[in-house]
Structure 1
Amino acid sequence: MAAQGFLALVGGKYRQILATVSSTGVAMAGKILALGDDGRIDPSVMPVGIGANTQIVTASEALAAGNYVNFYANAGALNVRKADNSNGRRADGFVLAAVANAAQATVYPLDSVNTALTGLTPGADYWLGTAGGVIAAALDETLAANQGSNKISQFLGTAKSATELITTDSDPVLL
């Protein structure tokens, strides 16, 4: 949807001026602001320090919307990959949009709401699963197969709806 416009007298003639949806910086000073196609203000027009609490980090593998991710050092640079309870990769955050390998991922912190999931049961608790996913039951620490295997049990949060998980920043337990 195109941004709404208004008429302004410019050089003695009426001219239609369109509102801006996103900003490229100081060159956009004085422009009228419009909401984007999603009905929200684009983060690019917000002052530094105001907006979503996110980190932009290079993904070292393809990520799907809703995946929980793990921060790690890759050749001296911070990267993200899928968090996974089977190999000790704790969840440090999540992505709301799919990201290609080597692309920039917008990572949302735990203690916020992951709105890109499916099949959740409202009110149910969820833990970190494999390949960036979630499971409805914690790993059983009493099973010999889970002990000393570098598996982790990490509580992620409680489902608000079938697609939303209210996350909490819980430390993982190494089994």
Structure 2
Amino acid sequence: MPAKTYLQQVAGRLKQMPFTTVSTGAANGGDGVGLGDDGKLHQSLLPDGYAPATWTGVASEAIAAGRLVNIYPDTVGGQPVTRARLADASAAGKRAWGYAQQGASAGSPVTVWFGGANSAVSGLTPGGDVFLSATTPGGVTSTAPSGASQVVQRVGVAGSATAFMFSAGLEIELAPAAA
């Protein structure tokens, strides 16, 4: 997309200038600010302290955009590390801590977002609760899991059929099947 421009007075004359969509710091002081190709302001244009709550680590498996992520301790070469994998409500131990806005392959970096709008989903009921899925690892559902030993974790509320505001709730492990 061609850069959008504005008019600026330079040495008494009007000059067409491109909007700054990513700031490099003081060198961009006084520039006009524009939205990026995604229609959003780049984080570098925001004041200090307005950073999204994220964590970047290594994915232990492929993680698609929009999937819910579990962060867990691991050991590599005798050293402790923290990794990311798909959250899963089919059994305890893989609660959702956040979600991936962009996909990552196993062994590559993945950024986990701890809040905000997750718009890489579908099939939600607008205005309804959203839960971690017990049938699709990293997925979400509008119906709380109900099977023996599954985990119920509310992860947000649907704003539309294709987006929800993520908020990690407490997880409740359901009772095991009766013996």
Compute the TM-score of the two structures, normalised by the length of structure 1. Answer: 0.76
Distance in 2 between residues matched to 1:25 and 1:103, nearest whole Å:
29
Q: Secondary structure at the match of 1:160?
A: strand
1:164 positional shift: 1.4
Distance in 2 between residues matched to 1:4 and 1:127, nearest whole Å:
41
Aligned residues: 166
Instruction: Return 5+ residue gaps in structure 2 as ranges.
Output: 175-179
Aligned partners of 1:64 and 1:99 also within 8 Å: yes
1:80 positional shift: 1.5
Partner of 2:41: 41
The CA RMSD measured in Å over matched residues stands at 2.7
Distance in 2 between residues matched to 1:31 and 1:74, nearest whole Å:
46
Q: Secondary structure at the match of 1:154?
A: strand
Instruction: Return 5+ residue gaps in structure 1 as ranges.
Output: none
Matched, 1:79 2:83: yes
Residue identity opposite 1:106 in structure 2: T
Residue identity opposite 2:160 in structure 1: S
Q: Rate the CA distance shift 1:44–1:62 in 2: closer, same or farther, 3 A.
A: farther
Q: Rate the CA distance shift 1:168–1:77 in 2: closer, same or farther, 3 A.
A: same
Divergent runs of 4+, >6 A: 12-15
Identity %, equivalent residues: 36
Which protein has the bigger strand share? 2
Q: Work out which of the residue numbers 115, 131, 142 in structure 1 matches 2:137.
A: 131
Compute the TM-score of the two structures, normalised by the length of structure 2. Answer: 0.75
Between 66-75 and 25-34, report the one with greater CA deviation.
Answer: 25-34
1:25 positional shift: 4.2
Q: Rate the CA distance shift 1:160–1:4 in 2: closer, same or farther, 3 A.
A: closer
